[in-house]
Structure formats: C-alpha cells, structure tokens
C-alpha cells in the first residue's frame, strides 16, 4: 500500500500517474502548500525538505524526490512496463532523460515559480523569472528536436516513466503558455500521455483538461 502526499498539478503528478498505471493500491493525502501544510512538524518528519511529493511505502519508509519515486515505482512493478530493464540498451536513455528532466528542466521551472529563492536582491525576482523563461524555451527546444528525430516518446516508440515526467512538466504552463504551439513534438508526446486511461482518470483532480 502506498500513500502519496500530493497537491494538484504539482511535482506529485508524475508519481500519481505511475501509481495509476501500475494500478497499485494507494491513497492520496493532500498537502496544501498555500496553508503551509508542507512545513508542519509531522510532514517534515516524512520529508525534511518541506516539498511535495512524498511517497510512503507500506506505512514504513518515506521517499522524497519525484524522479526517485518514479524510478522506484517503475522498478518495483516491472509488469507495468514503465521502464526498460537494465539488460536493454534503452535503459541508459531512460536514465538520461529522467535525469535531464529533473536536473535541468525542472530547476528552471522552480526558478520561475520561486524566483526570490535565487536572489538576495529584493528587486531581482523579475530578472530571475525572465531568465528562467528563456532557459525553459531553450531546454524545451532541444527536447522537441530530439523527439522530432526519434519520437514520439523520449525512448522512441516506447512509453516510459520519462514521458509521464515530461507530461507533468509540460502542464506547468504559466511561464510558457504557448509551449504546445511552439514545440509540436513535445505536444505530440504530451497528448499521447494525456490520452492514456490512467492519465485521463486523474486529470480532473489535477485541474487539467481531458
Ligand atoms: N525536486 C523536488 C521538487 C519538489 C517541489 O519543489 N515541489 C513543490 C510543488 S511542485 C513544493 O513542494 N513547493 C513548496 C515549496 O518549495 O515551498 C521533487 O521533484 O520532488
């Protein structure tokens, strides 16, 4: 049994998609960051970083970091075929894309959403945000090119946890509202993910269009 500490259209979306894909028994516990619920003493015991998501496994072990949770779920449930096995060459690409999404693309979103954390200058936040927008456009542009050369998924013709992660980040529309218009191969990948029954089931709770 899994418990996912969650908020709508947050970094909990990719882990939530994987839980649905796996059809694993799980419950969601909502953490409302606007009410500072991610900073309570009880929550900080599970995730000392004070971020969502956190996955609790069988009421015992807590895991933080959305990409780590995705890697864990995909490997623990190989029957769901969300990751190539270590014996397959695609396993390297799988690591590459998930690491790229969480180490390079996701931090640019975090810079946009939390700009004051990246500058000590009280007037610096808009500059951080405009830089983050440029970074996001460049990074998505390179991903779009790769998807155009060898798509429609990040691993070619094979859906994986990487695509769920890409979909999650593509849903954070505020800094680049024209993302799908500018990057057609990203749009194609995101639409394939969106159409999956597991994803369709959870879109409403995340405030996302079907
Ligand atoms: N690297 C972390 C980032 C998680 C993260 O920043 N989550 C956001 C919601 S999308 C959050 O909890 N924000 C509250 C805060 O930073 O105060 C992950 O991927 O799990």
What are the domain boundaries of the chain?
2-81+201-206, 90-196
Cβ 51 under 6 angstroms from ligand 1: yes
Task: Round to whole Å and give the CA distance between 10 and 143.
Answer: 21
Residue 121 has what pLDDT?
A: 96
- Atom 19 of ligand 1 has which residue's CA nearest to it? 66
Are 9 and 206 contacting, i.e. CB atoms less than 8 angstroms apart?
yes
Which stretches in the chain have pLDDT values below 50? Answer: none
Q: Kindly give the number of the ligand 1 atom that is closest to the alpha carbon of 114.
A: 16
Residue 109 has what pLDDT?
A: 98
pLDDT tens string 107-155: 999 999 999 999 999 899 999 999 999 999 999 999 999 999 999 999 9
CATH of domain 90-196: 1.20.1050.10
Residue 188 has what pLDDT?
A: 98
Cβ 172 under 6 angstroms from ligand 1: no
| C-alpha 188: how far from chain center | 17
Residue 122 has what pLDDT?
A: 87
Q: How far is the CA of 22 from the centre of ligand 1 (A)?
A: 23
DSSP alpha helix (H) spans, 47-124: 66-76, 90-100, 106-113
Cβ 169 under 6 angstroms from ligand 1: no
Residue 118 has what pLDDT?
A: 97
Give yes or no on whether 2-81+201-206 and 90-196 have one common fold.
no
Assign a CATH topology to domain 2-81+201-206. Glutaredoxin (3.40.30)
* Sheet architecture: strand order including 26-30: 26-30, 2-6, 54-57, 61-64
């Amino acid at each position: 049994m899994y418990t996912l500490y969650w908020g709508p259209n947050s970094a909990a979306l990719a882990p939530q998609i994987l839980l649905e894909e796996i059809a694993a028994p799980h419950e969601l516990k909502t953490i409302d960051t606007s009410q500072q619920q991610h900073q309570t003493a009880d929550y900080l015991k599970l995730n000392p970083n004070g971020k969502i998501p956190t996955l609790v496994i069988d009421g015992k072990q807590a895991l933080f970091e959305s990409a780590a949770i995705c890697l864990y779920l995909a490997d623990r449930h190989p029957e769901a075929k969300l990751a190539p096995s270590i014996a397959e060459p695609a396993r390297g690409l799988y690591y590459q894309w998930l690491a790229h999404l969480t180490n390079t693309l996701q931090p640019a979103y975090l810079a946009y959403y939390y700009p004051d954390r990246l500058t000590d200058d009280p007037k610096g936040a808009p500059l951080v945000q405009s830089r983050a927008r440029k970074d996001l456009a460049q990074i998505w542009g390179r991903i779009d090119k790769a998807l155009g050369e060898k798509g429609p998924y990040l691993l070619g013709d094979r859906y994986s946890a990487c695509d769920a992660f890409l979909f999650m980040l593509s849903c954070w529309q505020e800094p680049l509202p024209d993302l799908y218009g500018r990057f057609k191969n990203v749009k194609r990948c995101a639409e394939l993910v969106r159409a999956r029954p597991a994803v369709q089931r959870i879109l409403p709770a995340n405030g996302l269009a079907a």
